Copies of this chain bind each other. A is one copy, B any other.
């Protein structure tokens, strides 16, 4: 399951995707409209900025905007930034790989199955973008 934080991130990003190409949107505005705790949202947007999903502007008239087109930001990327691995076990993860203790990876059936499952999930999450999130609603 995705954390609430990740679900907040999707809501905030969908909001920003709708406003893509327009004026920056203030955190406080997103917080109210999307019902996300203000200070928590600050952290989320800041993390997304550090990973080059968002741009920000301080001072009056400031706020956040998407750095690139909603069509170019896929859901897997967002999940990895805010939530962590897509794979169901660490030893099957591409971006957060960790070696298992007590298991030989070359011959581990569980790992093989989890890699197949991960690839199926990824195929969807890497294809779908913020644009899909807003056009489908």
Name A residues whose Cβ lies closer than 8 Å to a Cβ of B. 1-2, 7, 10-11, 14, 34-35, 75, 79, 84-85, 87-90, 102, 107-110, 112-113, 116-117, 120-121, 123-125, 128, 132-137
Residues of B within 8 A of A14 (CB): 109-110
A113 touches B35 (CB 8 A): no
Q: A109-B134, A109-B137, A137-B109 are in contact. Are A84 and B1 (CB under 8 A)?
A: yes
- CB contacts (< 8 Å) of A79 on chain B: these are 88
A124: chain B residues at CB < 8 Å are: 113, 116-117, 120
Dominant SS at the A interface? helix
A113: which of B7, B117, B136 is its contact (CB, 8 Å)? B136
- Residue of B34, B89, B137 touching A2 (CB-CB under 8 A): B89
Residues of chain B within 8 A of A89, CB atoms compared: 1-2, 7
Alpha-carbon separation in the docked complex, A72 to B136 (Å): 37
In the complex, A91 Cα to B117 Cα: how many Å? 21
A35 / chain B contacts, CB cutoff of 8 Å: 102
Q: How far is the CB of A33 from chain B (nearest CB, A)?
A: 10
Chain B contacts of A2 at CB under 8 A? 88-89
Complexed CA–CA distance, A75 and B136 (Å):
31
CB A66 to nearest CB in B, in angstroms, measures: 16
